[in-house]
Chains A and B, each alone.
Chain A
Amino acid sequence: MSAEQLQVPAAQFESYYGRPILKVTRWREPHLPAYLFLGELSGAAAVMGVAAGATGRPGLVRTGRVVAAAAAAAGAAFLTAELGRPERFLHMLRVAKLTSPMSIGSWILVSHSALTSAAAASSVTGLLGPLGTAAAAGSAVTGPLLAAYPGVLLANTAVPAWHSSYRELPLLFTGGALTAAAAAGLAVAALTGDQADVSPSQRLALAGAALECGAEFMLERRSDLVAEPYHTGEGGKLLKYARAATMSGALLGLAARRSRAAALASAALLAGGGLAAKFAVHRAGVESARDPKYVVQSQAANP
């Protein structure tokens, strides 16, 4: 038997001229990955601000509130730009529909944006402190929901690589939320020279990296066919880079107190890793919808 024959023959399946069965998603880059990243950043930053307030860290309170508000606004802009009819964004609020994660998500995003804007405005102007604190407390509830719901948003589709990953995606996104917020905390500390609140950001980076890389590991060790776009091609490559960046960023963060350069590099790696993971998820989804084998072979395998 020659070496060539030892290879497992490629699985045979029939298709209609090799054309996709599904429509390849209309959600684009950079809009979708950017929205995912900014949404999770905003969610965790809001919770970080509240936790900082509860533990007496006023500098980090302002960082959390301002970052949460800015990221929510920027994320909403990316989301709106994705619409075929951006001027109809408010049609999202015609109904509240339990079967539509985008409907639920729109209500979460709008609530979270309003709460974080109020909390940030109060923090920056120093006005209406109690109201700002109340708004921030509310955003500590909407924040985790904003970070987690996009996992359901993507999974609740016919896209094989997304639908099959409904366990991993929300964990990947909330893990990414923690590392993104940690990156914001480390960057602000480095830029302002205020080292007092570095420790929580360092621990946030470690906890987030554990969760984010754990979810990435879950995706990578899956052997089912529809998880293949997470191992191979652009999606697989980006996911590997993402994991390396996130892990090294979290570790480098431990040197933040000694070196500003290390703190900034750590923040860049953490944010870059999170963003790369969002691009990886998008590309894996596109690939799984584009190649009909993912639909045919996964469905034909069902009894």
Chain B
Amino acid sequence: MTSNSLYGPLEDVSGDAGYVAGHPERVGFFTDTSVCIGCKACEVACKEWNGLPDPDADLLKLTGMSYDNTAELGSNAWRHVAFIEQAVPQVSVLSRDGAGQLIISASAGDTDDSGQATRWLMASDVCKHCTHAGCLDVCPTGALVRTEFGTVIVQPDVCNGCAYCVSACPFGVIDRREDDGRAWKCTMCYDRLRGGLEPACAKACPTDSIQFGRLDELRVTAQARLAELHEAGITQARLYGADPEDGIGGAGAFFLLLDEPQVYGLPPDPVVTTRDLPAMWRWAGLAAGALAAGVAVAFAGRRA
């Protein structure tokens, strides 16, 4: 335990969890949504590798939300590709010139009667593997643990389905399978990591929108990509979850987005709930004292 165990930047997240020196480097995902084509290969690869069940397999479930029929991350969907259709005056198209420089050009894409074109945003969401993970903090059984890679996993043989993690996650990622009674979420393919392989989703991604690697290296890659997009004029591009100073101490899985986080169904500025835990216990102590004082007052004085 160090002074920033509950909140703030944390250099060695596995070390803070008790792994001795020499543990593997922290790994993560950098999901660059600017090159996502919405193919859902990540969703399929994840379900295949992890053997995720589909209790509704017999039903044709259509959400009406563009091409997104997965709808959300959950106990059986550990990657979720969001599809956002936006009406814009003009669609920007990125390409590289002869010198390899990223350039922006206006699209000749179709416009509707009102002269509006449709911009597509696609993004593959996943568990953030937070530096300060609310799910892990609140788990009463020790089922949720930090791995030697700095990721967060649930041990299914320990979880008793209390569902505290479900309410503690500021991203709405982890959920309980109601037929099975336990909480499930992305493990960043812990079994594959142990075997020296990259996670199934990153392996399957055809455009390298999902990049897997050492977290410190991914942050450098992401900064370079962001600078390139800004230089080309895509000013709306921003990194999400890449800052160790943010409310969760930075995410192990972070993103490059092309609009506000809430457009993608992400919270704009999440904070790990445990930050306020000491203050909460102080108020609970006050309340417990009030109870004792209330009884003392009621029983004070002579018997009637």
Interface residues of A (CB under 8 A from B): 13-17, 19-23, 25-27, 43-44, 47-48, 51-52, 54-57, 82-86, 88-89, 91-92, 94-95, 97, 99-103, 106, 140, 143-145, 147-149, 151-152, 155-159, 162-163, 166-167, 170-171, 173-175, 177-178, 181-182, 196, 198-201, 203-204, 207-208, 211, 289, 292, 295-296, 299-300, 302
Contact = CB atoms under 8 A, between A and B. Distances in A.
Most buried by A among B163, B262, B295, B299: B295
Given A26-B163, A171-B286, A199-B304, A21 B273 contact: no
Given A158-B169, A300-B269, A85 B159 contact: yes
B260 A16 contact: no
A250 to B, nearest CB: 12
Interface string B230-266: 0000000000000000000000000000001011111
B8 to A, nearest CB: 15
A147 B295 contact: no
Given A16-B263, A178-B295, 5 more contacts: A22-B167, A91-B141, A156-B168, A178-B294, A296-B262
Contact of A106 (B140, B176, B284): B140
B191 interface: no
B269 A302 contact: yes
A157 B299 contact: no
Given A14-B262, A92-B140, A19 B291 contact: no
B267 A166 contact: no
17 contacts: A19-B71, A21-B262, A22-B169, A23-B175, A27-B163, A83-B162, A88-B161, A91-B160, A100-B138, A147-B288, A152-B277, A157-B167, A170-B280, A170-B288, A171-B286, A174-B294, A175-B290
Nearest to B179: A84
Give the interface size bracket for B toward A: 35 or more
A203 B160 contact: no
B138 A156 contact: yes
Nearest to B302: A55
A22 B172 contact: yes
A82 B290 contact: no
Interface of B: 6, 63, 65, 71-72, 74, 82, 84, 134, 137-143, 158-164, 166-178, 180-183, 260, 262-271, 273-274, 276-277, 279-281, 283-292, 294-299, 303-304
A211 B287 CA distance: 9
A32 to B, nearest CB: 10
Contacts of A47: 291-292, 295
A48 B284 CA distance: 19
Nearest to B292: A144
B295 A94 contact: no
B182 A85 contact: yes
The 5 closest A-B pairs by CB, nearest first: A84-B161, A84-B181, A16-B265, A88-B160, A170-B287
A103 B141 CA distance: 7
Contacts of A86: 160
B279 to A, nearest CB: 7
Contacts of A88: 141, 159-161
B253 to A, nearest CB: 17
Given A55-B303, A95-B141, A23 B270 contact: no
B303 A100 contact: no
B283 A85 contact: no
Given A23-B175, A203-B298, A84 B163 contact: yes
A156 B176 contact: no
Given A23-B175, A156-B274, A158-B270, A84 B140 contact: no
A201 B294 CA distance: 11
A148 B293 CA distance: 14
B295 A156 contact: no
A145 B289 CA distance: 9
Contacts of A151: 280, 283-284, 287
B294 A54 contact: no
A156 B262 contact: no
